[in-house]
C-alpha cells in the first residue's frame, strides 16, 4: 500500500491528457484507464469532442475539456456511413482543434507528462508529438488486431491484400493464427481507403508514439504482445481487462438500458438463456434479421435479444419483428432495444452470447466465462471471432450465411451439444485468468510515463 502512496506523491502534480474517439466502444475503455491513472495519483484531463461528449458528472475527479471542433461533416455523424470514411473524416476534423486545445493547456502552464490518444486517432497522435508532448496510443481492440494492422502495409506490398477469392482460406504470412478471410475488412468501403487508413495508423505509431497501451491481458495474448514490442521496439502495456480493473461506473450508454430484462432473467433457471446482441454499430439486412429470428425460434431455447434502432439496414428506428414472431417472443423470449450488457453476461441465467465480437463485448464475455456464438460483421470483429473459436476455443461460428436451419443448429450445439460442456470449461478457465489479471502493467505504465 505504501508503495502506491509514494507513487501517488511522486506523480500527483503531473498531468496526463487523454483523447478518446467519440464512440461507445472507445469512450468507455479510455475513461476506465483515466480512473486507473487518477487512482494512482496522476491528474487527468480528458479532451473530447462535442459530438458524443462523455458525461463529466459521472467522473467528478477528472477534468473534461471540449476541443471545440467545428461541427462534424455528415460522414462522421450519420448512421450507415462506412466506418473507414467516418474515421478518415473524424481524424481530419479533429487535428487542428485537438492541437489547439493541447497547446492551450501547455500555454496555461500545465505540467503535461504525456498524452494518451485513441489508437485510431493518428491525427491527434501526430499533433501531440509535434507539440513536443510524449504520446502513447490506447488500443481499444485486441493485441492480435493491432498486430494485424501493423502487418497490413507489408501484406499489401507483397500482393496478399486485397485478398483474392481463391486465397481466402490461406493462412496469413506472419500471422499464422489468421486466415486471409479473418483480416480486417469493411464491406462497402474500397480496399484502397481501408489500406490507406490502416497505413496512417501504423505509420503514426511508428513515427510518433512512445508506446502502446492495449485493453487486453498478458495471459490471453502473450505472443501477440511480444510480437508488437519486437516490431515497434517500444513497450506495449497490456492494462486490461479495463472494465474489471477500474472502479469506473459503467459508461453512459448511447441508449438507456432496459433493466427489466434482469428481472426476466431472474425467472429463468441457471444457464438457460441465450443473450443476443450485435453491439452499437453493426447492422444486418432485413433477410438476415428474419433468419436470425426464425433460427432462434427453431432452436427452442430461451433468448434475450437486443433489437436496437439501426440494427436493420441502418434505418434509425427499431425494426419491426417478422410477422408471427411476437408469439415466439411471448413464449420464450425477451426483446429489448438496449441491455445492461455487463449485468446480463454476469447473470446466472445467461448460458451463452450470440455476438458480433466487438472487442468490448468479447472481453466482457470472456470475463464472465460465457461461451459465444460468433457473427462478425466488419473491422476487427473478424480477428476476434477467429481467436474466440480457434485460439481460445470458447465459441462457435454461426456461419457466413445466416439461414434459420443453420442458426438453430449452431445455437443447439452451443447450448447443449457434445462440445458445449468442454467449451464452457475453457470459458471458465479464461475467466479465471482474466480475474487474475492485476494492475501491475498500469504501474509499469506510470513508471514509464515518468521516465519520458
Ligand atoms: N452494450 C450494452 N448494451 C447493449 C449492447 C452493447 O451495454 O445492448 C455495450 C457493451 O457492453 C459494450 C459496448 O456496448 O461495452 C459495445 O462495444 P463493442 O466493442 O462490443 O462493440 P461496438 O458497439 O463498438 O461495435
Q: What pLDDT shows up at residue 86? A: 87
Q: Cβ contacts of residue 359 below 8 Å, gap of 6+?
A: 25, 140, 141, 142, 145, 215, 380, 384
Contact 262, 340 (CB under 8 A): yes
Facing residues of 196 across strands?
Answer: none
Q: Cβ contacts of residue 286 below 8 Å, gap of 6+?
A: 312, 313, 319
Query: Does 24 sit in the ligand 1 pocket, CB within 6 Å?
Result: yes
ipTM surpasses cut 0.90: yes
Q: Which of 9, 214, 15, 5 is nearest to 106 (CA)?
A: 15
Q: What pLDDT shows up at residue 186? A: 82
Tens digit of each residue's pLDDT (9 = 90 or more) over 265-282: 999 999 999 999 999 889
User: Residues of 231-257 as b/e, b for ≥16 C-beta within 10 angstroms?
Assistant: bbeebbbbbbbbbbbbebeebbeebeb
HSE-CB for 312 with a 13 A CA cutoff: 17
Residue carrying C-alpha cell 469493411: 186
Q: Which of 129, 68, 132, 63 is nearest to 94 (CA)?
A: 68
Mutate to test the pocket of ligand 1, among 279, 303, 314 (most ligand atoms within 8 A of CB): 279
Query: Does 120 sit in the ligand 1 pocket, CB within 6 Å?
Result: no
Mutate to test the pocket of ligand 1, among 341, 375, 381 (most ligand atoms within 8 A of CB): 341
Q: How far is the CA of 279 from the centre of ligand 1 (A)?
A: 4
Percent of the chain with pLDDT over 90: 82
Of all protein residues, the one whose alpha carbon is nearest to atom 2 of ligand 1 is 341
Mutate to test the pocket of ligand 1, among 258, 358, 359, 377 (most ligand atoms within 8 A of CB): 358
Rounded CA gap, 347 and 351, in Å?
A: 9
Q: Please state the pTM of the whole predicted model.
A: 0.94
Q: How far is the CA of 280 from the centre of ligand 1 (A)?
A: 5
Question: How far apart, in Å, are the Cα atoms of 240 and each of 43, 143, 220, 237?
Answer: 21, 11, 10, 9
Tens digit of each residue's pLDDT (9 = 90 or more) over 21-34: 998 889 999 999 99
Query: Does 361 sit in the ligand 1 pocket, CB within 6 Å?
Result: yes
Between helix 2-11 and helix 440-451 the angle, nearest 10°, is 30
Rounded CA gap, 44 and 438, in Å?
A: 22
List the catalytic residues.
26, 118
Tens digit of each residue's pLDDT (9 = 90 or more) over 291-308: 999 999 999 999 999 999
Query: Does 281 sit in the ligand 1 pocket, CB within 6 Å?
Result: yes
Amino acid at each position: 500500500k505504501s508503495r502506491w502512496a509514494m507513487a501517488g506523491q511522486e506523480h500527483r502534480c503531473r498531468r496526463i491528457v487523454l483523447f478518446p474517439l467519440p464512440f461507445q466502444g472507445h469512450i468507455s475503455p479510455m475513461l476506465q484507464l483515466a480512473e486507473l491513472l487518477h487512482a494512482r495519483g496522476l491528474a487527468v484531463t480528458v479532451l473530447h469532442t462535442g459530438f458524443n461528449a462523455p458525461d463529466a458528472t459521472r467522473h467528478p475527479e477528472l477534468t473534461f475539456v471540449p476541443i471545440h471542433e467545428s461541427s462534424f461533416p455528415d460522414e462522421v455523424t450519420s448512421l450507415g456511413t462506412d466506418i473507414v470514411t467516418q474515421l478518415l473524416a473524424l481524424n481530419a476534423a479533429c487535428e487542428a482543434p485537438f492541437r489547439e486545445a493541447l497547446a492551450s493547456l501547455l500555454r496555461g502552464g500545465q505540467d503535461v507528462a504525456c498524452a494518451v490518444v485513441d489508437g485510431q486517432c493518428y491525427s491527434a497522435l501526430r499533433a501531440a508529438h509535434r507539440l513536443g508532448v510524449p504520446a502513447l496510443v490506447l488500443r481499444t481492440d485486441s493485441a492480435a488486431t493491432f498486430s494485424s494492422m501493423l502487418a497490413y502495409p507489408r501484406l499489401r506490398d507483397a500482393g496478399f491484400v486485397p485478398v483474392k477469392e481463391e486465397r481466402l482460406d490461406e493462412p496469413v504470412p506472419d500471422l499464422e493464427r489468421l486466415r486471409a478471410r479473418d483480416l480486417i475488412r469493411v464491406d462497402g468501403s474500397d480496399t484502397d481507403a481501408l489500406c490507406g487508413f490502416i497505413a496512417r495508423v501504423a505509420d503514426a505509431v511508428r513515427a510518433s508514439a512512445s508506446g502502446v497501451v492495449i485493453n487486453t491481458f498478458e495471459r490471453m495474448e502473450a505472443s501477440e504482445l511480444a510480437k508488437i514490442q519486437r516490431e515497434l521496439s517500444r513497450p506495449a502495456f497490456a492494462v486490461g481487462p479495463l472494465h474489471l480493473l477500474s472502479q469506473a461506473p459503467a459508461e453512459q450508454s448511447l441508449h438507456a438500458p432496459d433493466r427489466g430484462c434482469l428481472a426476466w432473467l431472474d425467472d429463468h433457471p441457471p444457464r438457460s438463456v441465450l443473450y443476443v446482441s450485435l453491439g452499437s454499430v453493426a447492422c444486418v439486412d432485413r433477410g438476415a434479421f428474419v433468419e436470425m429470428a426464425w433460427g432462434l425460434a427453431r432452436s427452442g431455447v430461451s433468448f434475450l435479444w437486443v433489437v436496437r434502432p439501426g440494427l436493420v439496414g441502418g434505418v434509425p428506428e427499431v425494426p419491426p419483428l417478422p410477422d408471427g414472431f411476437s408469439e415466439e417472443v411471448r413464449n420464450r423470449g425477451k426483446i429489448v432495444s438496449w441491455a445492461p450488457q455487463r449485468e446480463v453476461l454476469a447473470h446466472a441465467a445467461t448460458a451463452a452470447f450470440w455476438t458480433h465480437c466487438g472487442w468490448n463485448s468479447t472481453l466482457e464475455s470472456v470475463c464472465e466465462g460465457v461461451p459465444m456464438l460468433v457473427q462478425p460483421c466488419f473491422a476487427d470483429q473478424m480477428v476476434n471471432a477467429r481467436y474466440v473459436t480457434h485460439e481460445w476455443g470458447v465459441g462457435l461460428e454461426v456461419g457466413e450465411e445466416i439461414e434459420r436451419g443453420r442458426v438453430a443448429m449452431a445455437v443447439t450445439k452451443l447450448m447443449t451439444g457434445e462440445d458445449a460442456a468442454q467449451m464452457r470449461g475453457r470459458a471458465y478457465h479464461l475467466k479465471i485468468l482474466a480475474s487474475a489479471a492485476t494492475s501491475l502493467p498500469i504501474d509499469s505504465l506510470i513508471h514509464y510515463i515518468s521516465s519520458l
